[in-house]
Amino acid sequence: MKIAFIGSGKMAEALIARLPSRQVIISDIDRGRLEYLKKKYSVAIAADNKQAWDAADVVVLAVKPQQISVILEELKGRKKKLVVSIAAGIPLSYLRKRLSGSPVVRVMPNNPCLIGAGISALVKGSGVTPGQFKQVENIFKLVGETVVVPEKWLDAVTGLSGSGPAYVYVVMEALIEGGKKNGLPVALAKKLALQTVYGSAKAALMSGIEPGGLREMVTSPGGTTMEGLAVLKDRKVFDAFASAVSAASRKSKLLGRQWAN
């Protein structure tokens, strides 16, 4: 199976790095980027997007949303291929219409995919066979976990897991700053904060206990944790994070409307 990547940014590279080099061909307007990836991963590079498309069984559209219309116009009328789009906000209907009915899978990966620890939400478009969908799932399992969702949920997914890493990084930054303000050296504060977030997530994944239950395990009546949680409650931090997911979801939906036709 030959896989073409149209666009060669960080997310594309995360996948390219984990695929057999003989399976991969890439195209990009940045020739320097192509030469870098060719040298690093021994992959083939295409002269242009059309050549990449023609050489592949699966085409991954790994470009920014604002670039998509130009690229789809360039590829219009070519032989049908299985297409995977990681371009945020671009609906299946828009993609299929402009790709002459090629079967399309939409995917929303997230930032931790760059280190193989992400989660990608997959939307199966009409005309995608079970075998084809399994191929796409296997590609994205190389960079983390996968879930299958209906397209109507993808804006909410974007607000949660797509934007969510940024919210978690804010938590990390805040914990580090709190450590510094209380006299810890920066390096130690960073180590404590990052391992605390990592370990907490791992405990939630592996223990089978709900996050609320784990929180209660850490919180002794009248203790230090309860004192800190009281501040978070007073500052409405819980509501702020939930509202951040909602705000990002609304923005995703708003951006998607421009591609409705």
CATH code assigned at 194: 1.10.3730.10
Clarify whether residues 171 and 89 are in a common domain: no
The residue from 149, 173, 203 where one domain ends is 149
Position 257 scores a pLDDT of 87
116 assigned to some structural domain: yes
Clarify whether residues 133 and 195 are in a common domain: no
Position 188 scores a pLDDT of 98
Taking the chain, what is the end-to-end CA distance rounded to the nearest angstrom?
A: 32
260 assigned to some structural domain: no
Q: How distant is the alpha carbon of residue 196 from its chain centre?
A: 23
> How far is residue 158's CA from residue 245's CA, in Å, rounded to a whole number?
8
The residue from 149, 176, 205 where one domain ends is 149
The answer to the question of whether 63 is labelled as a binding residue is yes
CA angle 11, 137, 157 (to 5 degrees): 65
Position 86 scores a pLDDT of 96
CATH number of domain containing 71: 3.40.50.720
> How far is residue 96's CA from residue 100's CA, in Å, rounded to a whole number?
6
Position 27 scores a pLDDT of 97
Asked if residue 161 lies in contact with residue 108, where contact means CB atoms within 8 angstroms, the answer is yes
Return the biggest CA–CA distance within the chain.
Answer: 69
Clarify whether residues 118 and 86 are in a common domain: yes
The answer to the question of whether 10 is labelled as a binding residue is yes
Clarify whether residues 22 and 72 are in a common domain: yes
Nearest-CA neighbor of 52 among 74, 70, 32, 35?
74
The answer to the question of whether 11 is labelled as a binding residue is yes
155 assigned to some structural domain: no
Which helix H or strand E contains 59, and what residues bound it?
A: strand 58-61
The answer to the question of whether 9 is labelled as a binding residue is yes
Please name the residue that has the structure tokens 């021994």. 42
157 assigned to some structural domain: no
Position 258 scores a pLDDT of 84
Low-confidence ranges of the chain (pLDDT < 50): none
3-state secondary structure of 78: coil
The answer to the question of whether 62 is labelled as a binding residue is yes
Full domain range(s) for residue 174: 164-255
Position 261 scores a pLDDT of 63
The answer to the question of whether 17 is labelled as a binding residue is no
Clarify whether residues 32 and 96 are in a common domain: yes
Clarify whether residues 136 and 11 are in a common domain: yes
The answer to the question of whether 102 is labelled as a binding residue is no
Total structural domains within the chain: 2
